[in-house]
Amino acid sequence: MAARSSVARVARQFTSAAARRPSPFVCQRWQQSTQRQRLFSVSAALKAKKYTEDHEWIEMSADGKTCTLGISEYAAKALGDVVYIELPQIEMDVSEGDAIGAVESVKSASDILTPISGTVAEVNSDLEKTPGKINKDPEGDAWIAKITVSGEPAGKTMNKEEYTAFTEEP
């Protein structure tokens, strides 16, 4: 009797293991992909940099409440070696088109205009100590300010391809 029960137990284990095995006729990749969750929540279009005709760029954060502001590579090259940057004050209310700071180089000086309305939440204070960083990475680590957005930009903004075409025109 003990031999019969052990044989029955082994038979049950094999049948339950066979039930758990996927069908050989179903692609494993397709079967697993239906069980995975999507890990991203923001589309690439939302996070893409937008450029203005004044050569600034903005990039929205993942939550859509703040944006990062800086000057474009084209502007950094046109200015030459940057020697001084005037940053905006934290918690300063800004409106679209306002001058929130300035960039001075050995060639000229230029105002930093904001393409969006809101409140300055953070500034890149590293640029005050080493303003030359803006020549090395103007669209990366050398951002100027982060602004808590109070509305959509009403002025014209361009994607990277449109901005490149804009700067190449005579």
pLDDT at 14 (0 to 100): 54
Give domain limits for the chain.
46-164
pLDDT single digits (tens) 27-61 = 555 455 444 444 444 444 446 889 999 999 999 98
Helix, coil or strand: residue 65: coil
CA distances from 110 to 16, 50, 80, 107, 120 (A): 74, 20, 12, 10, 19
Q: How is residue 72 written in tokens?
A: 């474009």
- pTM, rounded to two decimals: 0.68
Q: What is the CATH number of domain 46-164?
A: 2.40.50.100
